[in-house]
Structure 1
Amino acid sequence: MIVRSPNPMKNLKDKIYALGVFSTSSALFASYHISKITLSNPNLNTISVERLKLGNDEYLEHLPIYSLDRPDCPSSSSSYIERRWWRDFCFQQGPKYWALIANTSRHIARPLALEILSKTHSVSDSVLYKTALACDHKTLINLAKRQGIDSEFLYEEIEIEPSADDASPRRVDLSPPPQTLASLTSSTLDVITHLTRIPQQRHEFIYTYEGLQLLTRMWFTFSSDDVIMAKLANVIRNLTLDELNHQLLVDGGFLHLLVNWTESSNTRLKVTASTALANLSKESQYSNGVYLLHPLYEEVGDRELDVIFVHGINGSAFHTWRQSDTARDHINYSWCWPLDWLAKKFGSAMRVLAVDYTSSAFSWRSRAKNQQLNIHDQAVALADALCSCEVGDPSRKVLWVAHSLGGLLVKQILVLAKENEKYKKLLHNTEGVMFLAVPHRGCPAARFSKKTSYLAHPSLHLRQIADSDQLNALNEEYLQLAAQHGITSKNFLEGLPTRLASKINIHIVPPECAELEVGENILLREDNHITICKPKDRSSPIYLSLVETVNHILHKQDSADSGESAHSSELSHLYECLHF
């Protein structure tokens, strides 16, 4: 709410003259404009009018912070008192004023307004409510991506119902369900997740099946179950892939849920919610199978590198990349070391992604039998998903980290990029690949006799990695690409057999099958096929090698990049004053 001072002109002038910061003209200029703001208290009926005014360039020029070279705006040379005064000025204006600024994309102070709104705390519920009403849905989405935002700021107790013409939504009151949905199970959510992956089915899910009401009731019933909440977040993430659903999700109060989930201790829930928010903010489109591990929140700065983690058979984005089980009792145990370690090490210099796809060793379950794609088709699906979130953008290089089957998929993606113009940027911007126990020449453990195959039911992926002829051909193509495009290859080999049963210990990918004729071949004598991608701590060879490779790529990028623009530099000074 806009703060109304009994005599804002007098109070502000006294403060300015007492501090001796500005000249008489500057003080009068600042006093005039700020007094106009503090004396005004627009009600809800005038908000739409104010928004129209903010779309007018002439009106923008009369706002007190329209230009960064005004005498009342601090710079890097500003004194302590000047910076302190600027911070007080910013926070004296009510949050509703900054909401109006934030709604206007052309306003030069919009980033500043979003920053101030994200730090709006300790105010009454009525102020939060009125400020939220003053924000359009794009502003609310941008606020939701900022760390520390008050989730109550984003909450609306409303629900979407299909209208008579099945086109425009309308708001109705939301009340807890009359009875618990005991029959709703985790498998039901799996079906819904699969349904919402299909673009044509998303609209039908929302309107025909009243999907948003169903999701709301699921949250009421299972809000304490992190596993179910993670699957629910995945459904919401699928819905965010259609821009037409963004307004519905904001009006339905789902921003409130997503922001709360980003603070969860459950890695899957936190990452899935953050990825959904990234889709809503349109910074990129993270489609099926791609998760944003870092940054979880909006950060200032240009990213120079994309690091992409690709799991193998029986793996997942949230299972393969956890810390070694031997460190499970450690207080700082990481359930996703790329998220916890790389983010702290490199900050805003990189984006970290993890891909997820269906892959099982055996096809006993119908899910493994019906949803697995062959290596070529799976590579096409992953390449499409990665291109949709702008991997391969000229401003960012690409580094792949792949375990087992994931390494074969990475090689297949790069081969596809050579042949298909659509994926060419993935190849041209790839700086390096780290292979972890990848069966470049096949996997003897995956070969079964006909009788054994009849009993074991090996999956399609397991049968393919046993085919050394197909893998040899793929490997030759990769070697040529690596030489032509200068791709750095680091190949790590498992040194220990993997224990499959009480008396069965085998090398799943023996060193002779995992060796690569290009780059480095590094034998890890203390790791087997499973632990090779799960470092014990930050001193493990895998992590140290990854850090070294990332530093090398970033150093090359820094030597070619220019400095920040003057405009960005000045805005950063304003941000510093707010944190002063």
Structure 2
Amino acid sequence: MVEGVREDYTECWPKSWLAADCPNLRILSVEYDTHLSDWKAKCPAENQRKSLAYRSQELLRKLKDAGVGERPVVWVAHSMGGLLVKKMLLDASKDPDLSPLIKNTKGILFYSVPHHGTFMAGYSVNVRYLLFPSIEVKELCRDSPALRDLNEKFLNITMEQEFKVLSFAETLPTSIGPMLKILVVPSQSADLGIGDLIQVDVDHLNICKPEKKDSFLYKRTLQFIQDALGGQSIK
């Protein structure tokens, strides 16, 4: 989850709000380093380690070791993290050892995920890397074959497994330095093609950072998790 730019935002709303409102939850956060110095790979092996496919397998192993999938799961993802979740679930659907994770996935919530790419992929390296990690950045071009293939296959397993899906889309441009403002993920790209799509008057960074506990973003997120959970406990 990318940190917001407003100092008055909560440090970690899943920890401070969600844990209190849903005490039966086990909340796990997955982070990846986004410092520019780490994005400049020094050798082909480093490039491979930062690929979407590599990170999917790496995180699936870690989640399995942590026991994730033994109880119902709700995924909450922002931006590039949503593509990673899609790839992980697609990979898990092909692995018999991970079938419990697929069976127990009850819902997926996407915050401004570029399902169909973004114009940001066409900007200079320094500009686009301000918002996206290096994994598969070249494939973030609008309507790229890789994104289209990932989306089509993910839609198939989503319909087969009947995952509940909710997507939020930004409507305000994000400031990239003092001179540039960009709508990073337009609503057309944030629309997965299944489930509800809700447009919110925030930018790309702050769409995953509800300002207050009684804000629409948080209340709708909480409602989705509770509905997907259906009275059960989740991991």
User: What TM-score range do you get, normalising by the shorter chain?
Assistant: 0.7 to 0.9
TM-score (norm 2): 0.86
Is the aligned partner of 1:494 residue 2:170?
yes
Residue aligning to 1:342: 18
The equivalent position to 2:141 in structure 1, one of 459, 462, 466, is 466
Contact 1:417 1:425 in 2 (8 A): no
Is the aligned partner of 1:369 residue 2:40?
yes
Contact 2:121 2:128 in 1 (8 A): no
TM-score (norm 1): 0.36
**Which structure is higher in helix share?**
1
Residue aligning to 1:380: 57
The amino acid that maps onto 1:402 is A
SS of the aligned residue for 1:549 comes to helix
Q: Which has the larger radius of gyration?
A: 1
Is the aligned partner of 1:505 residue 2:181?
yes
Is the aligned partner of 1:483 residue 2:188?
no
Contact 2:52 2:135 in 1 (8 A): no
The amino acid that maps onto 2:39 is A
Q: Distance in 1 between matches of 2:190 and 2:111?
A: 9
Check 1:412–1:457 CA distance in 2 against 1; reply closer, same or farther (3 A cut): closer
Is the aligned partner of 1:325 residue 2:6?
yes
Q: Distance in 1 between matches of 2:128 and 2:229?
A: 46
**Structure with higher RCO (Cα < 8 A, 6+ apart):** 2
**Root mean square deviation of aligned Cα:** 2.2
Contact 2:106 2:229 in 1 (8 A): no
Check 1:478–1:527 CA distance in 2 against 1; reply closer, same or farther (3 A cut): same
SS of the aligned residue for 2:11 comes to coil
Unaligned runs of 5+ in 2: none
The amino acid that maps onto 1:488 is K
What aligned pairs does 1:12-411 form with structure 2 within 5 A after superposition? 311=1, 315=2, 320=3, 325=6, 327=8, 334-347=10-23, 349-359=24-34, 365=37, 367-370=38-41, 373-393=50-70, 396-411=71-86
Q: Distance in 2 between matches of 1:503 and 1:464?
A: 26
Q: Distance in 2 between matches of 1:387 and 1:465?
A: 28
Is the aligned partner of 1:546 residue 2:227?
no
Cα distance, 1:377 vs. partner?
A: 0.9
Contact 1:326 1:536 in 2 (8 A): no
Cα deviation, 1:73-114, whole Å, max 9, x if unaligned, reads xxxxxxxxxxxxxxxxxxxxxxxxxxxxxxxxxxxxxxxxxx
Check 1:327–1:425 CA distance in 2 against 1; reply closer, same or farther (3 A cut): same
Cα deviation, 1:329-378, whole Å, max 9, x if unaligned, reads xxxxx31111010111121x110000122345x5xx2x223455111111
Residue aligning to 1:162: none
Is the aligned partner of 1:429 residue 2:110?
no
Unaligned runs of 5+ in 1: 1-310, 329-333, 559-580
Q: Distance in 1 between matches of 2:127 and 2:79?
A: 21
Contact 1:405 1:465 in 2 (8 A): no
Q: Distance in 1 between matches of 2:164 and 2:53?
A: 23
SS of the aligned residue for 1:491 comes to strand
Cα distance, 1:422 vs. partner?
A: 2.5
The equivalent position to 1:444 in structure 2, one of 115, 119, 124, is 119
The list of structure 1 runs, each at least 4 consecutive aligned residues, that deviate by more than 6 angstroms after superposition, is: none
Q: Distance in 2 between matches of 1:411 and 1:359?
A: 20
